[in-house]
Structure formats: C-alpha cells, structure tokens
C-alpha cells in the first residue's frame, strides 16, 4: 500500500535574504519544529542526470561548527556511497580524505555545545 509523508522546512530570512532561524518537522518521525543551524539537501534527477542542492546555514553558525557539520556530512556520504555501490576502494579513499579533513581542521579539539 502506497503512503505519502511530509517533511517541512521553515526558514526565517533577514532583509538580505540570509537565514536567521530554521526549523524542520517530520510528523511521522516525531519531529516537530526542531531547530537547526545548517541544512544540506541533495536530490537526483535521473532524466537530466544531475543533482540539485540546497545549502542553508544561519548567519550565527560558527565556523568551527560548520567544519564539524561538513566533516560529518562527508562521513555520511561516504557511508551512503559504500552501502549503495559496495565500492570499498573508493570508500577507503573517501575515508582517508575525511580523516585528513578532521586532522587539518583539528576537529577532535572542537567541543560539543560551543
């Protein structure tokens, strides 16, 4: 049986169209107006054979937290790629880059809650 669900994003913009506040909801997942400071969304159009992206972050998003967010996103993409393709050689190369990124940005020193 087919079923439809909804995920919503609410973005408050300032006079320069820069996000000031963002929240998301996914009622089927028990998420209701959860605050967020950054959001990356990618979709695939098989007919056009290209991706589309929406990348948003609030103007108050600290650089160190953006670095952690990007790193965690890259780690997640690596895991998704491996699961979808079983290409362990490329997944290992991606992991090496993720490790390099974390080391170069000293991400182990970034404390949660900053």
Say yes or no: 12 and 31 in one domain: yes
The pLDDT of residue 109: 74
In this prediction, residue 111 has a pLDDT band, given cuts at 50, 70 and 90, of low
- Condensed to tens digits (0 to 9), the pLDDT of residues 12-38 reads 999 999 999 999 999 999 999 999 999
Say yes or no: 71 and 50 in one domain: no
- Condensed to tens digits (0 to 9), the pLDDT of residues 36-54 reads 999 999 999 999 999 999 9
Say yes or no: 14 and 38 in one domain: yes
In-domain check, residue 110: no
In-domain check, residue 111: no
Domains: count for the chain: 2
Say yes or no: 50 and 4 in one domain: yes
Q: What is the rounded CA–CA span in Å between residue 112 and residue 114?
A: 6
Domain that includes residue 17, residue range: 1-60
Say yes or no: 4 and 55 in one domain: yes
Closest among 110, 29, 28, 25 to 69, alpha carbons compared: 110
In-domain check, residue 99: yes
In-domain check, residue 114: no
């Amino acid at each position: 049986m087919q079923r439809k669900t909804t995920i919503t994003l609410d973005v408050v913009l300032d006079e320069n169209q820069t996000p000031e506040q963002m929240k998301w909801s996914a009622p089927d997942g028990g998420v209701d107006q959860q605050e967020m400071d950054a959001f990356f969304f990618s979709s695939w159009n098989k007919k056009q054979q290209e991706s589309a992206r929406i990348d948003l972050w609030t103007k108050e998003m600290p650089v160190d937290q953006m670095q952690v967010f990007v790193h965690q996103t890259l780690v997640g993409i690596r895991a998704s790629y491996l699961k979808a393709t079983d290409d362990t050689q490329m997944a290992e190369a991606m992991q090496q880059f993720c490790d390099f990124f974390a080391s170069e940005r000293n991400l182990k020193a970034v404390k949660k809650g900053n």
